[in-house]
Structure formats: C-alpha cells, structure tokens
Chains A and B, each alone.
Chain A
Amino acid sequence: MSRRLSAISARTALPILAILLTMLVVTESAWSQSRFPPPEFESGYTQPTTTRPHGRAGWADYTDLAVLAGALVLASAATLWLRRRWVIVLISVASLGYFGFYKQGCICPIGAIQNVAMAVFSTDGYVIPLTVAGFFLLPLIAALFFGRSFCAAVCPLGITQDLLALKPLRVPTWLDRALSLLPWVYLGAAVLFAVTGSAMIICRYDPFVAIFRLVPLGKIFEGFARNDPELNPAALSGRLDLLILTASFLLVGVFIARPYCRYFCPYGALLGLMSRFALKRVRITPTECIQCKLCENSCPVNAIRTPTPQAGPKERLAGKGSLAVMLAILPVLIVGGGVLGGMLGTTMARMHATVQLADRVRLENSGAVKGTTDASEAFRATGESAESLYAQAAQIESRFTSLTKPFGVGIGGAHLFGAFVGLVVGLKLVGLSIRRRRNDYEPDDASCISCGRCFATCPMEQARRNGTKVTLNQKSESCPT
C-alpha cells in the first residue's frame, strides 16, 4: 500500500504542492470554495452520504412533559391527601432518577425561566419549544392549586439537597428573611441577561447539574437501547469553579437545609408567589393544634409560623403607622433602585460576548494591552472592521442602558432590573409590617416546600393514623407547656 502511495505521489504531489504554495500566499478565505473541483470518477465509485443522526424523537420530549405532570399530581396527592412522608420521599427519589440522572438536568423549569423570558421579550426572534413552555408552566399551575409540591418531590435540585439535609440548623429569622430576597434579585438578573442575549446565568451557575452528569444513567440506557457495545459515559464538567460551587452547596446543605432553594432559586420565588394564594396547602395537624411545638423543630426550612398574641390597640396603631411609612417608601425604593441599576448598566452589558470582544479589541487597538485572545484573533481573521464591531456592541449595550427615552432620559434593562429589586425590597418591608394573627402553628404560605416532615411528627396526625382519640385531658398531660 505504501509503495503504491509513494508511486502515485511522485506523479500527482508536485502539481498539488504547487497549488498549495500559491494558496499559502493567498489569505485564508471563506468556506465552500472549490479550490480543487470535485473529481469525475471513472471507476463507477459512488459517493457515500454524510450521516446525520437525529437527537431524541419529538415524542420523547412530550413523554418528559407527561412524566412531569404525573409526578406533580402524585406529589400533590402525597402531600395533601395521603400525608405520608415516606411516600413523598419515594416519589422524590423516582423524580431524582428520571429528571436528574436520566435526563441529566436539562430541561428544568428553573432554567426554562430564561427561555420564557427570551420568547416573550427578546428581539432575536427566539421561538420557545412547546415542551419547554410546558416545563415552565405546569409546576406554577400546580403550585397555584396545591402549593409547592414541585419543590417537595419533583425538582431534582431540591431533592438532592433535601436528602442531604442531615443536621439542619435554624437560621435566625432576620437573616432568613433578608436572604429570601436574593431569589428575586437572581430572577431579575437571569431575565435581564437572557433577554439581552448575554448569558443564561441560571444554567451556567447551576450547582447540582454536575452531579447528575457524573452518573451517566441516561447514556447507559441509551447505549442499551442502541445496542452500543462501547458506552460513551458522560462526565463531570471539568470547570473547577463549578466543582467548588457544587461542593460548597453540598457541604452547607448538610447544616442549612436546601440552601439553593431558599436563598437562590428564582423559580422557587415564583412558586412561592403562587403558593401564597394556593387553593389548598399543606396543613400540619389534621384536626386541632395542641401547641406542642414539635412541628416547629421538625421544619428544616424555617417555614412554620408560631402563634402570635392578640395585638392591643396601641400595637395596632403602631403597626398601621409602620405600614404607612413602608408604603410611602416603596416608590422611593423603586426609583432609587432604577437609578442605581442604570449606573451598573455598562458593567452588566459586559456579560455579552460581543461587548466583551469589542472592549478587548478597543484595548488592543489603543495599545493598552499586549497580546490577543482567541476571540479577538478570530475576529481579526474575519476581516471585519473594528468600527462595525463597536457599533454592534453599542447596540447591545443600549439594551441595558437606553431602550427607550421617555423623558429625554435613557431607560434600559439595567434600570428596570434595579427598579424591580427596589420593588421587591419595598414589598418585603410592607409584608413585614403587616401583622397577622395566628392561633396555631401554621406553615408559611410562601416558604413551605411541602416536604411533609411537620405532619409526620404531629402527635395529632399520629393519633389519627392509629385511630386513637385524643381528649383535652391527654393533651395537657403530654404537653405541659
């Protein structure tokens, strides 16, 4: 073979090499040129066709949607009617297997926020696949009727943390309330960056997805399905920053239950909003609360509100006063947030690759930095002018800083983001200044994630299951407080 090769090469290599040398002189040009016209074969050779394997079939995506709907129904039934913690755990482990290790974390409703934002607001003409829209909507609808059963037993991220919450400590209420603002800020930022086409930060900084990809369940199943002898295992993404993020969330999650759900998850914020007005939500005691406080200690996420004493007329007046002040502050916070956000606009625009590239090229051209990056080299190879790149970058930056100019002042996405954060802080303050009277221990409307630990510990629930009747007398004996 090699002798034949060299024999042919003697005849043919020289002219080809000559052409190649001229090609070396000519600059690298665009693709799909025929430097060497495709040959006309005489030996009856037929050209093979390039294979184009398809991905998952369309129906497989709808299967995912059906599994999601089924899991939501089961989880809601388990939290509201069946009221068995082990059933909730069973459903959640199954969901973790399917959405986590089999589907490897994509698509999930948390990330789908960005696709929805892109479809609704983006000017790039993004069309959202029906299944992704379904993944975003179904858990929200379920939350509006049955509370956050999605968080309890369907979300693979939540379940990972729930199973690892071995020694949950109590986060001080003031800290818990303050940190619970973060998911809204994260939501605003995720929408801003998605709509401007900059990045999908929810997916980029997903702390748990790496775990699902570590165990290549999906690939193994696919390998069996294709009868593929050599399985190509999926593996952990090698980015060190993400691995550190994963490890820290897991470690913190042992002592602070569900840290991502409570203080970061933007979808949890939306679910909490829906759950606040849910038709039916988890109740701790099936009959009558005996004020034993067992449930309060069982809740890993500080979501059980204790009874509040009847407010006197003086306290009521003070409460009304603080509510009035907070309502007055609200517009100030919104405007102030908007102004502050606008100041950050140019910085935030740097999340976009084109803006980054334009900055880099500008610095290189002015001689402020030495050397090039891959991106700036690739840009120079295209032969485009730097000015057109700057114009593109300025156009993207204007999405952040001046979309419209209502009063001669540019208002862009960054202003809206800032105003949104101001609104969220203001509404939180308003919410905190409203006193709500409670006689019994109740799960919080928004932050209860329906995990079912509270009713599993409730003595009244135990009594109901055993069929024993609890009389008032027994109550005072078992709970001297």
Chain B
Amino acid sequence: MSKPDKKLTRRDLLRSGARGACVVGLGGMIGVLADHSDGQQMVWQIDPAKCNNCGKCATNCVLEISAVKCIHQYAMCGYCDLCTGYFTAQPSGLNTAAENLLCPTGAIKRTFVEDPYYQYTIDEELCIGCGLCCKGCNAFGNGSLFLQVRHDRCLNCNECSIAAACPTQAFKRVPANKPYLMKLAEDAE
C-alpha cells in the first residue's frame, strides 16, 4: 500500500539501509550461533561428586513432587544387612518397624537375596528426593544411593530453581544423550 508516486524518500532510504544492517546483523548472529551450537538439547543433572544430599531438591523443584529422585547403583552396593540408607544410624532393632527406618515415605524396599545380603530397591513413585537415604549411605556405606534428576519428570526449566538454591553448586547442564552422571563410569550410558 505504497504511495501512488513511487518516489524514494530520504526516510525510505534510511529505513532500507537500516533493514539491510539488521539483516546483516541477524545473519552474523546466525553464523556465530551456528558455530557455538549443537544439535543436542542440554538438560540439568546433579554432579554426585559435589552433591551433599542437603535435601533442598525435595522442596525447591517447581514440580509438586520433585523431579529429583534417589537412584541405586547396584554395582556399588555392599548389600549390607544393616544398611544405613535404609535404617537410621542407631536402629533399636533390625526390623522394618517405623522407628528404625530412615525413608520418610517408605520408598525403599528391602528384599532378602542370600545370607547375609539384602537388596534395596527404590520405589520412585514414593521417593520425594529428600536425600536422607543417600546421606546415610554416603556417610557410612558405599555411597551407592545418590540423587539424580529423573528426565521423564524434569521440565528442564531454563533456570532450574533447585540449581539456584543448591548450596554446593552441584547442578550442571549435560547433553541430553548422556543425561545421567553415574558414580561408576562403566555403568554410564
């Protein structure tokens, strides 16, 4: 819907020039970004080497139930009878009575394997990511229980609100094709 006379005014000329500059600028931006970009999406993950299982993951996630859960790397587990991830540090007896158990939601299942070994399995439906078991396992056991972001739940917020609250700066972005930071390297995908 230009004016009837197609005369090029000074303003039109300036505008076209500026538009050209913007095209060049955006083109340059595309070039720079192409150089710095990767087809991989980046996702958040907890570096188990830094995590101190403080429990903030359970309360700072934008999800009502945190995307962070305890996971169990069985290859590291000692299958202890007295598991300090399962029982409190000073249980009054080695039985599943509530006063002896550490997990606030009963998310750890204890099953007998063979004398004297027990397998501990995390029920992720119940786990809230508080890290109590991980703390106990790390302090006195092998550290086979640790916290990880579960990517089937994580919204992948651009600024993770747990990362912002994390006292040890343990959250980092990892490529989506290697989304877990396992403690045993050979077990990593």
Contact surface of A with B, Cβ cutoff 8 Å: 2, 4-6, 8-9, 11-13, 16-17, 20, 23-24, 28, 30-39, 41-43, 45, 47-56, 58, 61, 104, 106-108, 111-112, 114-116, 119-120, 126-131, 133, 136-137, 140-141, 144, 199-200, 203-204, 213, 218, 226, 230, 232-235, 237-239, 273-274, 276-279, 283, 286, 353-354, 373-375, 377-379, 381-382
Contacts and interface: CB of A to CB of B under 8 A. Distances in A.
A127 B159 contact: no
Interface in B59-113: 59, 62-65, 71-82, 84, 93-96, 112-113
Contacts of B187: 50
B8 interface: no
A108 B158 CA distance: 9
Nearest to A45: B113
A61 B64 CA distance: 24
Nearest to B16: A277
Interface of B: 1, 15, 18-19, 22-23, 26, 29-30, 32-34, 36-43, 48-49, 52, 54, 56, 59, 62-65, 71-82, 84, 93-96, 112-117, 119, 121, 125, 138-143, 146, 150-159, 161, 164, 167-169, 173, 176, 179-180, 182-184, 187, 189
B84 A127 contact: no
Contact of B73 (A50, A136, A286): A50
B159 A200 contact: yes
A379 B170 CA distance: 12
Contacts of B59: 238
Nearest to B153: A232
30 contacts: A2-B95, A2-B96, A4-B112, A5-B95, A6-B93, A13-B81, A16-B80, A20-B84, A20-B140, A31-B143, A32-B183, A35-B142, A38-B77, A45-B113, A47-B75, A50-B72, A55-B179, A106-B155, A126-B173, A128-B38, A129-B40, A137-B29, A200-B158, A226-B152, A237-B161, A277-B18, A286-B1, A378-B52, A378-B167, A379-B168
B168 A61 contact: no
Nearest to A24: B140
B159 to A, nearest CB: 4
A208 to B, nearest CB: 13
A23 B140 contact: yes
A42 B167 CA distance: 43
Nearest 6 CB-CB pairs, A to B? A36-B78, A55-B151, A235-B64, A53-B152, A203-B159, A200-B159
Contacts of B72: 50
Contacts of B82: 9, 12-13, 16-17, 20
A6 B94 contact: yes
A42 B150 CA distance: 33
Contacts of A353: 169
Contact of A52 (B18, B158, B189): B189
B185 to A, nearest CB: 9
Given A2-B96, A5-B95, A53-B150, A32 B76 contact: yes
Contact of A128 (B23, B33, B183): B33
Given A35-B140, A36-B80, A119-B36, A55 B43 contact: yes
A43 B167 contact: no
Contact of B64 (A35, A128, A232): A232
